[in-house]
Structure 1
């Protein structure tokens, strides 16, 4: 039995973190049965990070490692037809999404303009949370941002990075179909994980404003959203 442990849902998506939603979408697109357990505290996760997977007693952390494990253990063929060049592109997209993650997270937890709306949405959708817990999480994230580097940026400079990432993705995503073919691959699941957490949020950050104006990104996001519902 496969069990996915990840952060809780928010704004109508199954995980409010891009990495957990990426694994969720991969499992759905692959047609693998699984249980989904939502947790707030990552202290018990491998390396203290979500998501992680328990598969027949084996615990696997890190979203890319999880996808590789699932493809190997369960003979998932989503990426079987990719060419060598496409696999390189898939890796580059994955690394770009790592960069976008920090800007998206910055917009939620650090930017004073958007933090109250994000905090209130979490409190509204998850009554077990308290303002004190979220404030502690915010302070923890502020430390992470500082040591990663994005926390030392002024907001306009931080968003310039994220907008550059989204602009590159808008150049890559076709107007029809998916990234590499007419069927989704693991890269489409990864892209959905991050785009959905921006697109379906009602908070009008610079990332949301830009994404909404890109018809191909919106189409891709909503197509995967429908496929994994």
Structure 2
């Protein structure tokens, strides 16, 4: 059976990283059986990054690569009816979610207004985490942010960038149904991966304030959450 390796749960969400939750939601929506292993150590992962999957003799990393691999191997059809224009929209939204990822991560590990609450939540739900380990992870992430660029923003400017991304999602997500109609597709799984990691968090960032204020985003997130919920 396919095994998904991704970060652990937090605040009742199946993965506290948007990319892992994206893959989790896609597998659930596509009806592909899988085991879910929650880990912190990404040293065995392709490119040293989570999530990744192991399926027989194949080990596949990168969330988009995983979705393409699973679609081919298991003849997944949730995107089969999409038009070329809709597939282009999916690519553009996925790339925008890459940008939102950095702001979300920054809000947890670097923005000192929210770091204490995030640290406390991690320690509460995963008491095996040590102070030293968290300090090293915080320092490592600060380095990543600096070289990516978001770490050179002041907190309010970083949040403004994420709010612009969420504004685009607010304009895209319909009041009813899903991005491309009455049934969810892979882009709905991707959006859920990131929005759920904002909405369900008990940390009142500007990102969460924006999501809560937009009924269409909350409805969409809730619908996908219900569809993929179960043992996490």
TM bin, normalised by shorter chain, reads over 0.9
Following superposition, the deviation at residue 19 of structure 1 comes to 0.1
**Equivalent residue, structure 2, for 1:51:** 51
The 2-side partners of 1:132 and 1:122 are apart by: 13
SS in 1 for 2:157: helix
**Equivalent residue, structure 1, for 2:26:** 26
Residues 3-58 of structure 1 show CA distances to partners (whole Å, capped at 9, x for unaligned) of: 00000000110000000000000000011110000110111110000000001120
Residues 90-131 of structure 1 show CA distances to partners (whole Å, capped at 9, x for unaligned) of: 000000000000000000000001001000100000111111
**Equivalent residue, structure 1, for 2:100:** 100
SS in 1 for 2:179: coil
The TM-score, its normalising length taken from structure 2, stands at 0.98
- The alignment yields a C-alpha RMSD, in angstroms, of 0.5
**Equivalent residue, structure 1, for 2:125:** 125
Report 1:129-148 matches (<5 A).
129-148=129-148
The 1-side partners of 2:112 and 2:153 are apart by: 14
**Equivalent residue, structure 2, for 1:71:** 71
The 2-side partners of 1:57 and 1:189 are apart by: 26
Residues 119-150 of structure 1 show CA distances to partners (whole Å, capped at 9, x for unaligned) of: 01000001111111111100000000000000
The 1-side partners of 2:134 and 2:93 are apart by: 31
**Equivalent residue, structure 2, for 1:223:** 223
SS in 1 for 2:78: coil
**Equivalent residue, structure 1, for 2:5:** 5
SS in 1 for 2:190: helix
Point out where structure 2 has 5 or more consecutive residues left out of the alignment: none
**Equivalent residue, structure 1, for 2:159:** 159
Give the aligned length.
Answer: 229
The 2-side partners of 1:74 and 1:152 are apart by: 42
SS in 2 for 1:60: strand
The 2-side partners of 1:78 and 1:127 are apart by: 38
Runs of 4+ in 1 over 6 A off after TM superposition: none
Point out where structure 1 has 5 or more consecutive residues left out of the alignment: none
Following superposition, the deviation at residue 228 of structure 1 comes to 0.2
Residues 144-199 of structure 1 show CA distances to partners (whole Å, capped at 9, x for unaligned) of: 00000000000111011100000000000000000001000000000000000000
SS in 2 for 1:32: coil
Q: Aligned pair 1:188/2:188, yes or no? A: yes
The 2-side partners of 1:30 and 1:4 are apart by: 14
The 2-side partners of 1:12 and 1:154 are apart by: 30
The TM-score, its normalising length taken from structure 1, stands at 0.99
Residues 62-88 of structure 1 show CA distances to partners (whole Å, capped at 9, x for unaligned) of: 000000000000000010000000000
